[in-house]
Amino acid sequence: MPQVMDADRMSRALTRIGHEILERNRGAAELALVGIRTRGVPIARRLARILHEINGDHVPTGALDITLYRDDLMRNPVGPQPVVRRTEIPFSIDNRRILLVDDVLYTGRTTRAALDALIDFGRPRAIQLVVLVDRGHRELPIKADYVGKNLPTSSRQSIQVRLQEIDGVDEVLIEGES
Amino acid sequence: MKTHAPAPTDAPADPASGTLRLKSKDLLGIAGLDAGEITLILDTADAMREIGSRPIKKVPTLRGRTVVNLFFEPSTRTRTSFEIAEKRLSADTLSIATATSSVTKGETLVDTVRNLEAMAPDMIVMRHASSGAAHLLARICRSAIINAGDGMHEHPTQALLDAYTIRAHKGRLAGLNVAIVGDLLHSRVLRSNVALLKTMGADVCACAPSTLMPPGFDRFGVKATSSVDEAVEGADVVMLLRIQHERMDGHFFPTVREYFSLFGMTPARLRRARPDVIVMHPGPMNRGVEIDSAVADGPYSVILEQVSNGVAVRMAVLYLLAGSSEAE
């Protein structure tokens, strides 16, 4: 399975995104990170650490589970329901600039669900989207603000993001014929 | 098996795993659920509880689904709890109380439900005074049936919210000593709780006057006693059950005052339990009968927490069963 990103490149990409975030928002005041479960959460925590190293600011970080907002729930009359995990946003998102973090941007449906979920928590000043990999094939009008790596793929392929915190290794793999 | 592990946090999702599901389209009782299914419901409830602390306490999950609450027996807590759970999941709900329905005109249960089902609800939550009523419906209905209490048989969501509350305090269910004291004979809460606690590996000691002790109860692997002190000794959890005057057609004990003096839970009796004991009651409480006000309102009481947890547990059950409904 070809590796398209190793630990080094992942770390450099996230550091670059950290600088881009600070440049675009003129500092880290009013920022908050919200990672989408599962793999968006450790990426959000790493970005918080990077922002702290660069700027000294502590950016609050939360975790969002979008299962209950999915647009494909209840479409299949018989079958197991996806497992719901806990959402933890221990701060008010009102008037903050929220950095929504996910590992892979693909159809955009997860992001759509996450936007709906976030709005139920309050009225942020802005929401910006951070992804480690953008693999294209959007089905909704959604675009990332910060991208670790643009990866043109065919829809037959699949992208595996593995993270130290969950999988014991940092890498991005691409599977299947192009 | 990760039966007693706390809710998974960043554990990798395993969408291919077919084990994380309820096997039945209905929730008729705890009997028939295995430890994995019970853990799935409790873990899902853990995620649902957070929704109740949001500014907008609602998720769109059951949008367009219809849930009928059919209550043939009076209920405040359970019916309200189900209604709130349904509304927080965005289901369309309607509640039918029998006093205002055709039941008073002589319609049978089966006819009432067949007519309701002709209007294609996705789920029916039912409480009925006859044991087995929910099982009867489950056989004739395509909708998912949730038993909200059938006679003296089962009240599964109560046992699940009790287990959720215990797990939230103790971190586990296995190996705990649970004392259940009160009107055991008429109690569906008891039957559901015993089934659940035994499945999850807890030790149950049941205590009642011999007239209120179900015959052959020790078959269920439960220690039975008529000494409160013996039951409470070393308990991690003390659960009190209501004296159900409305189901008593005979004389089970001489007076309420005598019951209280022999079985009522007082601070003095509670001192025999473990120092971190929690005291539970499914409600409605008869103060000064099965429980002293000093205990009901005391530092060990988690009775109101049980009520709040009930909403999260019922949301979990509704969510998990909604995927299995055949009413398409």
- Per-residue pLDDT at B216 exceeds 50: yes
Question: pTM for the whole thing?
Answer: 0.90
Residues B267-285 have a mean pLDDT of 96
Point out the residue among A69, A76, A87 whose CB comes nearest to the CB of B60: A69
Find all residues with CB under 8 Å of A109, minimum gap 6, and list them: A70, A71, A72, A139, A140
Residue A46 lies in a domain: yes
Quickly state the pLDDT bin for B259 (edges 50, 70, 90).
very high
B249 touches chain A (CB under 8 A): no
What is the reported pLDDT for A35? 98
**Residue A126 located in a structural domain:** yes
Which of B10, B40, B328 is closest, CB to CB, to A165?
B10
For chain B, give the percent of residues with pLDDT over 90: 73
Q: Which two tokens stand for residue B104?
A: 């008073």
**pLDDT mean over A143-168:** 96
Residue B323 has pLDDT above 90, yes or no: no
The domain in which residue A27 lies consists of 3-71+85-175
Predicted ipTM?
0.88
Question: For residue B268, what pLDDT band results from cuts at 50, 70 and 90?
Answer: very high
Q: Scanning the structure block, which residue is given the tokens 């959000």? A: A44
Confirm whether A169 is domain-assigned. yes
Identify the H or E element spanning A16.
helix A7-25
Residue of A46, A68, A104 to mutate when probing chain B, most B C-beta within 10 A: A68
Lowest-confidence segment of B39-43, B93-97, B260-264 by average pLDDT: B93-97
Residue A100 belongs to some domain of the structure:
yes
Task: Give the angle subtended at the CA of B245 by the CAs of B244 and B247, to the nearest 5°.
Answer: 70
Q: How many residues does chain B have?
A: 328
Q: B46, A86: Cβ pair inside 8 Å?
A: yes
Residue of B nearest to A122 (CA): B55
Does residue A77 belong to any structural domain of this protein? no
Residue A78 pLDDT class (50, 70, 90 cuts): low
What pLDDT is recorded for position B9?
37
What is the distance in angstroms between the Cα of B119 and the nearest Cα belonging to chain A? 18
Is A160 in the B-facing interface, judged by CB distances under 8 Å? no
DSSP helix, strand, coil percent of chain A (3-state; round to 5): 30, 25, 45
Residues ≥6 apart with Cβ < 8 Å to A111: A100, A102, A105, A129, A140, A142
Taking a contact as any Cβ pair under 8 Å apart, which residues of chain A between 98 and 117 contact chain B?
Answer: 116-117
The pLDDT value recorded for residue B3 is 39
The mean of the pLDDT values for chain B is 89
Which residues of B are marked as active site? 77-78, 105, 127, 155
A53 located within any domain? yes
Residue B14 has pLDDT above 60, yes or no: no
Nearest to B321 by CA among A155, A77, A53: A77
Residues of A in contact with B62 (CB under 8 A): 74
Nearest CA in chain B to A165: B10
A76 interfaces chain B, CB cutoff of 8 Å = yes
- Which of A140-149, B42-51, B114-123 is least confident? B114-123
Q: Sort out which chain B residues have CB atoms less than 8 A from A77's CB and list them.
A: 325-326, 328
Residues A105/A107/A108/A114 CA torsion (nearest 10 deg):
-90
Asked if residue A76 belongs to a domain, the reply is no
Per the structure, the count of domains in chain A is 1
Residue A79 lies in a domain: no
The verdict on A121 touching B (C-beta cutoff 8 Å) is yes
- Please compute the mean of the pLDDT values over residues B287-305 and round it to a whole number: 96
What is the predicted pLDDT for the residue at B21? 82
Nearest to A21, CA basis, from A10, A11, A37, A13: A13
Question: Domain with A171 in it: what CATH number?
Answer: 3.40.50.2020
Comparing alpha-carbon positions, the chain B residue that sits nearest to A36 is B10
A71 touching B (Cβ < 8 Å)? no
